[in-house]
Amino acid sequence: MPVPTLTKLQFAEGLWTGRLSGTDEAEPALEITHLDRPVPGTRLTPDPAAPGNWRLEVPIPAAALSEGVQTILIRHGPSGTLLEHITIVTGAALEDDLRAELALLRAELDMLKKAFRRHCAEGEG
């Protein structure tokens, strides 16, 4: 049994949409989970824009909108192969981490600029 391919089409207004192709199943069996629990409200329908393919719609559950990094996994049921993951990053703690990383990068860039200027000055003299 071939493993299908899942391609992201869009992610807007809390709805992730993708196209499932490369399957000969009458109706593909997918497992969509967040924290090992099924995501409610997912829909898999034949794709009118691409005959022979399927359109997958995954509404992002409120539980996935929490502090930190949350991941929704989309697996092919029969093979267990991971087809796609949806990662959501939120929260003030992450903002602080990004600011610290940016400050570190700026400090390293300043150090490199000084070393480069010193090198250029020594080469002239």
Does residue 106 contact residue 28 with C-beta atoms inside 8 Å?
A: no
Task: Say whether pLDDT at 26 is over 80.
Answer: yes
Higher-pLDDT residue of 101 and 70 is: 70
Q: What is the pLDDT of residue 125?
A: 65
The predicted pLDDT at position 49 comes to: 84
pLDDT over 70 at 14, yes or no: yes
pLDDT digits (tens, 9 = 90+) for 71-116: 999 999 888 899 999 999 887 666 677 777 888 888 899 889 998 9
Question: What are phi and psi for residue 32, nearest 5 degrees?
Answer: -115, 115
If we measure between CA atoms, which residue out of 50, 53, 71 comes closest to residue 61?
Answer: 71
Cβ–Cβ under 8 Å, residues 57 and 23: no
Q: In what order do the strands lie in the sheet with 30-34?
A: 37-38, 30-34, 68-76, 82-90
DSSP per residue, 43-94? EEEE-TTSTT-EEEEEEPPGGGSSSEEEEEEEEETTT--EEEEEEEEESHHH
Q: Is pLDDT of 52 > 80?
A: yes
Answer whether 0.85 is exceeded by the pTM.
no
pLDDT: which is higher, 5 or 103: 5
Two tokens at 93?
């703690």
